[in-house]
Amino acid sequence: MAEDSQGTKEQPAGQEYRMEALAKAAGLPVRTVRFYRERKLIPPPRREGRIAWYGETHLARLHTIAALLERGHTLGGIAELIAAWENGRTLDGVAELLGLEGALITPWSEETPVRLTPEALADYFGGDVTPENLTTALDIGYIAVDGENVVHTSRRLLDASAALVREGVPLAAVLETGRAVRVHVDALADLFTVLIRKHVVDAAVESLPPGEATRLVEALERLHPLAKNVVDAELSLAMDRRVRAELENWLQEHAASAPVEPESGAAPGSPAADEPPGDPSP
């Protein structure tokens, strides 16, 4: 978010409210909204001179506060929850306050770590096990050092990397591609996280009655394979498009450089092919 001349964070474009309109939309007295603002339970407004403007973010926050109060949380506990949520300090504490501990028990990934001795690592990658490649793998997070051994974070990534090396791709190139892939998948994870938080988690916190957080945990578990299926389908379609385009370019380049066959049936360079046609016999 941008900041105005007074240092307050501007709200994103969209519906904006003065204090009275915001309180009416939230179904709260104006004095309650002012109290929440003083307790820093809602973010600072966007200011234009002496006028304070509130956006949809403030309205959603007020709905969340009301829902948490109905679930029996105190304002002090809500303030702690909001601070933890915004700062990312204590995810377990946030889940506990919301009754969502179960959502954190089942990981989204199904990766199996692999412990490797130096000899086993050499069996996978041979002479590509260099200090430079080990440093890159550590930096990316593919491996961690455990005494004299290393632990690879994922059996599938380990097998895929080794297969690429066997096909002739240098391990350094595999690792740099992995680094680039990490950037893109982090962006995909951000997209899905925002989508799920906005339309599933926040909506559930506002509507679920006390003791019904299990339903939200179950919904989150159902979303695990859906996100994976979307990414897998989109990647497969993208690879189809890209490989087809590369193949067409390759064929066009080789067709342009291929020798042109003479029109006659004679072999190139033969006397029949090089000799100009004579006059036809009478």
Q: Per-residue pLDDT tens for 216-236?
A: 667 777 777 888 888 889 889
The predicted model scores a pTM of 0.50
Q: How do 143-146 and 51-55 pair as beta strands?
A: unpaired
What 3-state class would DSSP assign to 178? helix
Q: Strand 149-152 and strand 114-116: pairing?
A: antiparallel
Taking the domains of the chain in order of start, what are their residue ranges? 16-98, 106-254
Dump pLDDT digits (tens) for 71-114.
677 788 777 767 765 655 444 454 554 544 444 445 566 778 89
16-98 has which fold? Multidrug-efflux Transporter Regulator; Chain: A; Domain 2 (1.10.1660)
Which of 57, 60, 46 shows the shortest CA–CA distance to 18? 46
